[in-house]
Chains A and B, each alone.
Chain A
Amino acid sequence: MQDNATIIEPSMLDIEKIRRDFPILERTVYGYPLVYLDNAATTQKPEQVLKAMDDYYHTINSNVHRGVHYLSQQATEAYEAARHTVADFINAAHTHEIIFTRGTSEAINLVAACFGKTELRPGDSILVSAVEHHSNIVPWQLIGEEKGATLKVIPVDENGDLIIDELDHLLKGVKIVAVNYVSNSLGGINPIREIIAAAHRHGIPVLVDAAQAVQHLTVDVQELDADFLAFSSHKIYGPTGFGILYGKESWLNKLPPYQGGGEMIKTVTFEKTTYNDLPYKFEAGTPDMAGAIGLAAAIGYVQELGISNIQQAEHSLMTYALDAMREIPNLRFVGAADATHRAGVISFLVGDIHPFDMGEILDKQGIAVRTGHHCAQPVMDRYCIPGTVRASLAIYNNRTDIDRLTAGIRKAVKLLA
């Protein structure tokens, strides 16, 4: 559990030093220094990641796993070292349980398609939660339509907490559970340990969407006992277009391949193809080598800072932000009102100001936030709102950013109310 979540001590980390690692933070927008609070959409990249990718293309670029030549061997070593870094980061039991994908969406689509193909029958159900990103709804609907299976939904209460009292009842007829660890629209940390334990009591596997979790919390797949876990590189300071699927060895061996192509085969004849071993069985075609190396550099960066230090610093800033925002008349938080069960995201509305208007006036002041439904329309429907304004934090955000945000909101209120 996140037991040190109540510490509001000054951070162990030198945030100003960290900020200097992110060159983009030096730029201005409409003449104002940039305040970047759209980190749940994507984080900025530190110099260390940019350099690792640059070095890759400058010195060892070549196709992996194929070449007899020196560069190919160096590239393969760096690429496989990246897999090892990821396995170590989430504490996977085996490196070959780490599948490289294009992102969280592709990872979820992979499991939905492959699991659905062999495990789903007409009348079966897939259990998701009411606070999922569309990426963890639509892939299941697609395979569900094909197989005659339907979605069931873990409900959410007014505070953004999942209601899990009825979980045992909900799990009847369910073949797989797919839930996010942290909600991208509300920021609530979901009780996935309880959900996984309940599902396992019924022998049902669980996929965890950790896209909004790995950059904020310690994620240990063995401790969670997750069957599958997905996350994206670009939300944890790494490059875009790259992501991870973790799967338990037993499950990955059981599932059929996803896509066909080079790399994923052992032998091919026109009569019969035999598939490669894990992880390559799920990695058709030439992979994104620079992406893997960039993600490994990003994880290295996070590990050097220490994820628990990051968690503590972000929690302290989150508490500061919530306190400051609470002072703004008519501002209301959507989801939890305190920092304890929240990671990264603050979703809010002020009076009856449309989120789009608020976002626009903030933008004009050089403050980047996200507005709208955040690819989670069912969440907005649940609260009967068209959308929210979402400010989301990363390790390089400081109190100046929050002061600029609250001043920006006040100015927007003055103009709009």
Chain B
Amino acid sequence: MTIKEQQDEIIADFDFLGNWDDKYEYIIQLGKELPLIDAQYKKDENLIKGCQSRVWLHVDYREGKLFFTAESDAVITKGLISLLIKVLSDHTPKEITDAQITFIDTIGLSSHLSPTRSNGLLSMVKQIKMYAVAYQSKSLQS
């Protein structure tokens, strides 16, 4: 599935959910269900400092694709992260750098990407893109 298709699927899922509590219930469920990161990677080097919730991000590069795992101590943030990873993991660095992340806005959670929110999600999108750029230039060199 392409990044766009993944996002469309999430948008379709959220269309089924009527009011805000159903949406949050779904996000919270995602946050609780997913064991996102291997304990060995939950270390300070992988910590993305959001103001209020802590987010750890780990990247693996296999066969030309990037795979992300992440964790947060706040469950709503964790749920949103799991959506983000679903969309961006298992893609090439170029696909990730080219991607427009529209689904967070479309499902009505754009406030989570505002810098004033400081929940780490915006920093996480930036960090994923930075990894993608780094691996892209690395693969071009080799």
- Are A and B co-members of a single complex? yes
Name A's B-contacting residues (CB within 8 A): 30, 353-357, 360-361, 364, 371-372, 386-387, 411, 415-416
Closest to B72 in A: A354
Q: State which of B4-12, B38-46, B73-81, B97-105 sits at the interface with chain A.
A: B73-81
CB pair A356 B28 closer than 8 Å: no
Q: What residues of chain A lie closer than 8 Å to B21, measured between beta carbons? A: 364, 411, 415
Most chain A Cβ neighbours within 10 Å, of B25, B53, B119: B53
Q: Say if the beta carbon of B106 comes within 8 Å of chain A.
A: no
Closest to B77 in A: A356
32-81 of chain B: CB within 8 A of chain A: 51-54, 73-77
CB pair B28 A415 closer than 8 Å: yes
Contact for A354 among B20, B24, B25, B53, CB less than 8 A: B53
Chain B proximity of A176: nearest CB distance (Å): 31
Q: In whole angstroms, how far apart are the Cα atoms of A386 and B25 in the complex? A: 24
Q: What residues of chain A lie closer than 8 Å to B73, measured between beta carbons? A: 354, 386
Contact for B74 among A354, A364, A411, A415, CB less than 8 A: A354
Taking residues whose C-beta sits less than 8 angstroms from the other chain, chain B's interface range is: 10 to 19
Closest to B79 in A: A357
Q: In whole angstroms, how far apart are the Cα atoms of A411 and B25 in the complex? A: 11
Q: In whole angstroms, how far apart are the Cα atoms of A44 and B133 in the complex? A: 46
Given the interface pairs A372-B51, A372-B52, A415-B28, the reply to whether A356 lies near B76 with Cβ below 8 Å is yes
Closest to B76 in A: A357
Q: In whole angstroms, how far apart are the Cα atoms of A361 and B74 in the complex? A: 12
Give the A-B pair count, Cβ closer than 8 A. Answer: 38
Q: What residues of chain A lie closer than 8 Å to B76, measured between beta carbons? A: 356-357, 360-361
Contact for A364 among B24, B51, B53, B77, CB less than 8 A: B24
Q: In whole angstroms, how far apart are the Cα atoms of A357 and B28 in the complex? A: 9
Closest to B112 in A: A360
Q: What residues of chain B lie closer than 8 Å to A411, measured between beta carbons? A: 21
Q: What residues of chain B lie closer than 8 Å to A364, measured between beta carbons? A: 20-21, 24
Closest to B23 in A: A364
Q: What are the nearest 10 A-B pairs in CB distance?
A: A354-B74, A356-B52, A356-B74, A356-B53, A372-B52, A357-B76, A357-B74, A364-B20, A357-B75, A360-B76
Q: What residues of chain A lie closer than 8 Å to B74, measured between beta carbons? A: 354, 356-357
Given the interface pairs A372-B51, A387-B52, A416-B75, the reply to whether A356 lies near B24 with Cβ below 8 Å is no
Closest to B74 in A: A354
Q: What residues of chain A lie closer than 8 Å to B25, measured between beta carbons? A: 415
Q: In whole angstroms, how far apart are the Cα atoms of A386 and B51 in the complex? A: 11
Q: In whole angstroms, how far apart are the Cα atoms of A386 and B52 in the complex? A: 8
Q: In whole angstroms, how far apart are the Cα atoms of A360 and B52 in the complex? A: 12
